[in-house]
Amino acid sequence: MPGGRRLIAAITLLALPACAPASGSGPRPPKVRVGYSPNLTHAPAIAGIERGLFAKEIGERGRLDTRRFNAGPDAVQALFSKALDIAYMGPNPAINAYAQSDGKAIRIIAGAVSGGAGLVVRPGIRSADDLRGATLSSPQLGNTQDVALRTWLESKGLRVTRSGPGDASIRPMPNAQIFEAFRDRQIDGAWVPEPWLARMLVEGGGTLLVDEADLWPNGRFVTTHIVVRTAFLRNHPGLVAAFLRGHLAAIDYLRTGGEPARAIVEAAIKRSTGAVLPAEVMHAAWGTITLTPDPLPHSLRQDAADAHEVGLLDRVRLEGIYDLTILNRLLKERGQEAIAA
């Protein structure tokens, strides 16, 4: 019967297996969106990107997407808006992110760099007292160098405010603009990370008033560590582990690669900032930083206390800000000691 034939045909069509999707049309792997700043204190990030170390470890499980930021507070906003998954940043933006989200949004998963920051001033300034009435700068309000500058000034009895009159004034601006303003004598000094510190000394004719390493026990303090969105860590632990393998490989590469490895980082900074970095500048800058996967938690807790004292942060409990589980597993695979949070 015609109706019966139509029913059989319909059943047959329903029973046929679905056609396989065309090659390459399946679900795309998730992006791994990584943020960093074009500074020497983010050298492992730069080396990992330029040498393809992150991409190699992530492989086909994800798609690496990298983005540059002037300073940590900008990267925090990108993490909050889910435009970033992982970011290299200093301690104070990470503390702010943790506090603003009631401990929910981010976790610190590894260290990257210690050292490489300080206060450079114009010739003739020899002490804190000489800074009364001075105009200083930092990369961004609330970033790690900004907190360090405010803390040091107040420890010397110099009152500073977010805006308005004070014993000294602080004008935050991007690092490249800081260098130009210092060279053109529009500011009297700045607390900056490398390579801008060395550049202000060598090319800007400045003097080093404070080496931040002198303010910390054994000269060790976290300048840069790695922060991840908590949701990304929970949902994609394999991708986070792959990224951290690339990070450890980048540190190894920079420790053992000598001048060729450093040249790759320097060239990338030049492309990003347009800055021509003389060999003398970079040689001096490399000598001030230490590459380490240890996030140096003791210095983070002191940074939180300092930010509170200068009025940039309410008191915050930092229990739970670290998750070093994956890092320590990878270190164990390498025969290295675990790091305590």
pLDDT 10s digits, 233-280: 999 999 999 999 999 999 999 999 999 999 999 999 999 888 778 889
Candidates 73, 95, 114; CA nearest to 215 is 114
Q: Residue 206, by phi and psi: left (phi above 0), alpha (psi -120 to 50) or beta?
A: beta
Contacts of 131 (CB under 8 A, 6+ apart): 121, 125, 153, 158, 167, 168, 188, 189
Candidates 39, 36, 48; CA nearest to 289 is 39
For residue 95, give the amino acid letter: I
Q: Which helix (H) or strand (E) holds 86?
A: strand 86-89
Residue 69 Cα distances to 52, 78, 319, angstroms: 20, 10, 27
Q: Which helix (H) or strand (E) holds 170?
A: strand 169-170
∠ CA 206-39-60, nearest 5°, is 175
Residue 127, Cβ neighbours under 10 Å: how many?
Answer: 9
Q: Which helix (H) or strand (E) holds 227?
A: strand 222-229
Q: How far apart are CA 341 and CA 235, in angstroms?
A: 22
Check residue 17 and give its pLDDT: 37
Phi, psi of 100 (to 5 degrees): -65, -25
Say whether the peptide bond before residue 195 is cis (omega within 30 degrees of 0). yes
Q: What is the CATH number that goes with domain 31-114+221-333?
A: 3.40.190.10
**Residue numbers of the chain with a pLDDT score lower than 70:** 1-26, 163-165
Most distant pair of Cα atoms in the chain: their distance: 106
Candidates 223, 224, 222, 227; CA nearest to 107 is 227
For residue 306, give the amino acid letter: D
The CA R_g of the chain, rounded to the nearest whole Å, is: 24
Check residue 164 and give its pLDDT: 62
**The two three-digit tokens of residue 341, written as one number:** 């949070």
| Total residues belonging to the chain | 341
Q: How far apart are CA 59 and CA 336, in angstroms?
A: 25
Residue 24, Cβ neighbours under 10 Å: how many?
Answer: 6
The yes/no answer on whether domain 118-218 falls in CATH 3.20.20.70 is no
Check residue 211 and give its pLDDT: 95
What residues does each domain of the chain span? 31-114+221-333, 118-218
> 31-114+221-333 with 118-218: one CATH topology?
yes
Contacts of 147 (CB under 8 A, 6+ apart): 92, 303, 306, 307, 310, 312
